[in-house]
Chains A and B, each alone.
Chain A
Amino acid sequence: MDWMYFLELAVNGALAGLMYALVAIGIVLIYKSSSVPNLAQGALTMLGPYLVLAFAVQAKLSMWLAIPLAMVSMFAVGLVIERVALRRLAGQPVVMILMMTLGIDIFLRATALTVWGGSGRNMPLGISDAPLFLGPLLVNRAYAIGAGVTLVMFALSIFFFRTRMGTVLRAIADDYTASWSVGISVERGVALSWALSSVCATAAGVLWGSVQTVDQSLSLLLLKGITVGVLGGLDSIGGALLAGLLLGILENVASGYLDPLLGGGTRELVVAAVLILTIMVRPHGLFGRQDIERI
């Protein structure tokens, strides 16, 4: 066995996995603070970088101004989504909320296509493409930077949920009515979680956009994000991080060794299989909260 090969697959897989986790953190953020499973996160991840480009290219601003501006705009987008689409559905069965976010996803994607067209755009972050070696190990520089940003986001999120606002959001996720009864503004809490998650999506989208160019296919990151989220347990930030690492390493290693044998496409297969098996063993993901059902 070629250990270097294994290690390289594992390390680069881990980096990619952390970037998946970045998409997942957005999903977890919303779920943890309002019990809404957000399937529009993919579309938000696509929308963010488009806005960055709109500011940077169309309005000719510097990249470092465009990104914060886009984040602010995305913050607003999150607020709007809550106000227009979700407020009415508060308290409805989860299928409907699920469908609503899917509808938003489809709608946003089609809108982006109409506005910006189908061809890919560059996201010039100025990350050098020169190979980066750690000893004999080649590390994918763009992914490494992404992984770093993920870790920062992770730390911020953990910190956020420790604050009083974070506690309030978790309370909302537990029980809307009880939250209202003690004067928590559920609407504002949910809106805030969407807004923060949209900002998170912008970060994820910009990084992924720099790796794989910006176009509508960014929205397909949803699948990876939601898989990581569920695997980690939908309301566990740490779980998302760990699941991202796990999944990234696994799919990279598996495809490295199995693809030549099975003729391709094993990556998706392995991911799916791992997901099914993990959920069978741990029905709430790795670290998800247990449902408390008092009989």
Chain B
Amino acid sequence: QAQNSIKFGLCYDLSKAYTFVTPQIVQAAKDYATLLNAKGGIEGHPIEILVQDHGNEPQRGIECYEKLKREGVMMFDYLSTPVSRAVLPRHMQDGNVMLQSFVGRGDAVDGDVFKWIFPIGPTYWGQMANDVAYIKSQHKGNLKGVKVGFIYPDYAFGQEPIPVLKTLAAKEGFDLQLFPNPMPGRDQAAVWTQIRRFNPDWVISWNLSAMHVVAAKEMKRNGIPMEKLIVVNWLNEVDINNIGAAEAKGLKRGTNVVGGKDHPLMQQIIKEVYGAGKGAGDAKNLDDIYYNTGLAMYSSMFEGVRQAIKKGGWPLTPAKIKDGLESLRNFDANGFIAPVTVTAKDHGGGGKTRIDMWDGSKWVPQSDWTAAYTDVVDQVVKEQSAEFVKSGK
């Protein structure tokens, strides 16, 4: 028990469906830790990042949790909707902190029910609500009769925003059609034939990286203009490149973090970590928005832990960490993310995103950081968390 370091357990899918993103996020977490450790860590305690692969299989996530738990880890991140969902009850039972930024499940923002789960930043639900709000703004505030097609890979991550989307469709009266696509989600020709027939005004694509690329190409082959496409945040520079910078023009993306290398934190890392040759990976990944996403995630985590030690002192306990995270106020990591305020009731912290559009050479913000339909999202959150309390699943 004489442990001096702060251990983070990163149980990630490094080998199957999410390999396009996890290495960058791990790299960001490690680089940030290196940066802080060089200055004595958090309140004098070094950060330790433990990484293990779970192949996006829930049971292996559980295994990872059980193993790292015994190695003294109190904060875990799974970066996967299905895995987070599976491990969640154990966290609830054992009282260990689960970081769940940017992945499902959406109702975990309800701090009353999900005491130990911290989806800091926007959830998929919030992001979806914002997407719909954006569409609404493009239709002069009236969504009646507007046709929205939703294409998603048919598993937990893709299915995640459906409750919110359906509720919104009922509320706003737009015409929603779902287009599930079996995993691995690459062979989309069939789905797009259907989508073209549906003739949507908007297509929301809840895909992951390369699947977006396929989707964009299929859109072209089916003669659907790129402007109609809104994608979830998991699309990066590599994907734009694969679609073709010119071809991708007009594509819109729900965005959670600021991209690019201009931010001071990025600059600092480039100088002090990569400059010193201590980077945890390839420097070219610094161009990748997924790297920024990782930094964003861990900047709020580290800040939370800092608060925890400040308030409760060493040694850390899960309860102290919980306290620390719940005392984040208007934290925006120096403008890296939309400001979050985490409380005991709200573990999300606001859930603001914005819509960016690719203009052929760069991303152009189409809106401010916003959180729309908070009432609707809240309502769905309450419904689902109540359901969780009732059935335990």
Tell me the bound Cα distance from A131 to B221 in angstroms.
4
Complex interface: stretch among B32-40, B182-190, B265-273, B310-318:
B182-190
Tell me how many residue pairs across A and B have CB atoms closer than 8 Å.
116
| Chain B residues within 8 Å of A15, by CB | 189
Within the complex, what minimum Cβ distance (angstroms) separates B54 from chain A?
15
- The A254-295 residues at the B interface (CB cut-off 8 A) are 255-256, 259-260, 263-265, 267-268
Tell me the bound Cα distance from A252 to B271 in angstroms.
53
| Chain B residues within 8 Å of A103, by CB | none
| Chain B residues within 8 Å of A129, by CB | 217, 220-221, 247
The reply to whether the CB of A240 lies closer than 8 angstroms to some CB of chain B is no
Q: How many residues of B contact A (CB 8 A)?
A: 40
| Chain A residues within 8 Å of B191, by CB | 255
Evaluate contact between A215 and B210: CB separation under 8 angstroms.
yes
| Chain B residues within 8 Å of A148, by CB | none
The reply to whether the CB of A91 lies closer than 8 angstroms to some CB of chain B is no
Complex interface: stretch among A66-74, A112-120, A191-199, A229-237:
A112-120
| Chain B residues within 8 Å of A130, by CB | 220-221
Evaluate contact between B194 and A119: CB separation under 8 angstroms.
no
| Chain A residues within 8 Å of B189, by CB | 12, 15-16, 140, 143, 211, 252
Given the contacts A213-B214, A263-B180, A16 and B187 also touching, CB distance less than 8 Å:
yes
| Chain A residues within 8 Å of B196, by CB | 138
Evaluate contact between A213 and B213: CB separation under 8 angstroms.
yes
The reply to whether the CB of B177 lies closer than 8 angstroms to some CB of chain A is yes
Tell me the bound Cα distance from A13 to B193 in angstroms.
10
Among candidates B18, B184, B197, B213, residue contacting A5 with C-beta atoms closer than 8 Å: B197
Evaluate contact between B186 and A252: CB separation under 8 angstroms.
no
The reply to whether the CB of B15 lies closer than 8 angstroms to some CB of chain A is yes
Within the complex, what minimum Cβ distance (angstroms) separates B200 from chain A?
14
Within the complex, what minimum Cβ distance (angstroms) separates A190 from chain B?
31
Evaluate contact between A131 and B242: CB separation under 8 angstroms.
no
| Chain A residues within 8 Å of B190, by CB | 9, 12-13, 16, 251-252, 255-256, 267
Give B residues with C-beta under 8 Å from A. 15, 17-20, 22-23, 154, 177-182, 184, 186-191, 193-194, 196-197, 209-210, 213-214, 217-218, 220-223, 238-239, 241-242, 247
